[in-house]
Structure 1
Amino acid sequence: MKLPQTIKDLIDAQNNSDSLAYVACFSEEATVKDEGKTHRGKQEIKNWISKTNETFKIAMKPLDYFEGQQLLKAEISGNFPGSPLMLSYHFKFKDDTISFLLIDQD
């Protein structure tokens, strides 16, 4: 599967629980929406992913990418009820960074 480099970097950062590398994939004014909460800007995104990594130890396995829709389907597993889950990652990009990410469950 062919993935944009930014998404590859995001997956690697997630699988290594590297919050700094994860947030480096985002633009300064980026927004992430996950589990009904909105995280705006790199600091909020870093706080969110750091807490998520510490609590759930999430690993991400990409399954399919729809380039025209900028949609990644992935399986995530970790220390949470119902693991593993299938999630959809809806991206918007600005230059080579993520400007918007919506994560929802299939």
Structure 2
Amino acid sequence: MDLPDTIIKYLAAHTARDVGTAIQTYADDAVVTDDGRTYRGRDEIRAWLSDAASEYTYTTELTGSRKLDDSTYVVTQHLEGDFPGGTADLDFTFDLDQDLITRLVIAAQP
């Protein structure tokens, strides 16, 4: 599936641990939920991106994607690394508005 440029740019920056580029894909009032925690606004999201990038070493592989509606996309990634459990399959659910991420929810696949 073709993903919007914003999501492609975010995923590439996140994989490269390029916080500066990744944060540019977010709206000022964006919300991210990851690992049971919620981050609001670019300052909190920037801090989350910085921490997430340095805590563990891992690789990612895009294993699927789907469009839920005109502004919502789900990207599934397989992660392998030195985090607890060593592997994970995660759904990244993106809500977009005018080419910016307004909401991102990261959740383990059931």
- So what's the TM-score if we normalise by structure 2? 0.88
User: In the alignment, which residue of structure 2 is the partner of 1:18?
Assistant: 18
For structure 1, the residue ranges without an aligned partner over 5 or more in a row are none
State the Cα distance separating 1:46 from its structure 2 match: 0.5
State the Cα distance separating 1:81 from its structure 2 match: 1.6
Count how many residue pairs are aligned between Structure 1 and Structure 2: 106
> Contact 1:58/1:76 (CA < 8 Å) preserved in 2?
yes
Match of 1:71 among 65, 70, 74: 74
> Contact 1:73/1:88 (CA < 8 Å) preserved in 2?
yes
Question: Matches of residues 1-106 of structure 1 in structure 2 within 5 Å?
Answer: 1-69=1-69, 70-106=73-109
Deviations 1:5-47 (A, max 9, x none): 1111111111111111111111000000011100000110010
What amino acid does structure 2 have at the position aligned with 1:74?
A: Q
State the Cα distance separating 1:89 from its structure 2 match: 0.9
Q: Distance in 2 between matches of 1:99 and 1:86?
A: 23
Deviations 1:41-76 (A, max 9, x none): 011001011011011134332111111251111112
> Contact 1:55/1:79 (CA < 8 Å) preserved in 2?
no
What amino acid does structure 2 have at the position aligned with 1:54?
A: S
RMSD: 1.4
Q: Which protein has the bigger helix share?
A: 1
For structure 2, the residue ranges without an aligned partner over 5 or more in a row are none
Matched position secondary structure for 2:68: helix
Q: Distance in 1 between matches of 2:62 and 2:7?
A: 10
Percent identity (aligned): 26
Change in 2 beyond 3 A, CA 1:8/1:27: same
Q: Distance in 2 between matches of 1:64 and 1:25?
A: 21
